[in-house]
Amino acid sequence: KFERTVIGVALLVSALFIFSLLYAMGAKKGDVTECLPYDKSYEDARVNQVDKNTYQIFYVARMWNFEPSVVYIPVGSEVDFFVTSKDVVHGFDISEKNVNLMGVQGAVAKTTVKFDKPGVYKITCHEFCGTGHQNMQAEVIVN
């Protein structure tokens, strides 16, 4: 009788584990990210103001920095982020904004974020990319 209870609990625990795993995978799929056709212009790191409150920022990741490293934008801006890499695979994470992209050479990832609150938004590389990985970051300063 006791063994049955133990087996039951074990099954329940593994079922919960599998469920949470599937749930996490589903959540990841829900990210608003797009993959676009690639061309060489994405290797040109730059900020492009589209109109008063709309910006495009083209990031180039390489060991071990992002370019542009600091960008200033006004509060209320909507920003399209484009990310590519010049070498290995890098991460592009803005945790406060739930942004989680990959910088991959020969490909570009895109997402759009609205910045309604002033602050310093840290961009960090969350994909291990070598000895300088932990210092690989950039900032978006909203004011």
CB of 79 to ligand CUA, least distance (A): 21
CB of 83 to ligand CUA, least distance (A): 11
User: Cα separation of 123 and 139, whole Å?
Assistant: 6
The piece of 22-30, 36-44, 104-112, 123-131 that touches ligand CUA (CB under 6 A) is: 123-131
Count Cβ atoms within 10 A of the Cβ of residue 101 and give its class: 0-12 exposed, 13-18 middle, 19 or more buried.
buried
Q: Which two tokens stand for residue 54?
A: 């709309």
Pure H helices in the chain: 2-29
Q: Are strands 70-73 and 137-142 parallel, antiparallel or unpaired?
A: parallel
Site for ligand CUA in 63-102 (CB under 6 A): 64, 90-91
User: Cα separation of 100 and 113, whole Å?
Assistant: 12
Q: With respect to ligand CUA, which residue has the nearer C-beta, 97 or 133?
A: 133
The piece of 18-26, 45-53, 109-117, 129-137 that touches ligand CUA (CB under 6 A) is: 129-137
Which residues of this chain interact with ligand CUA, rule CB under 6 A? 64, 90-91, 125, 127-129, 133, 136
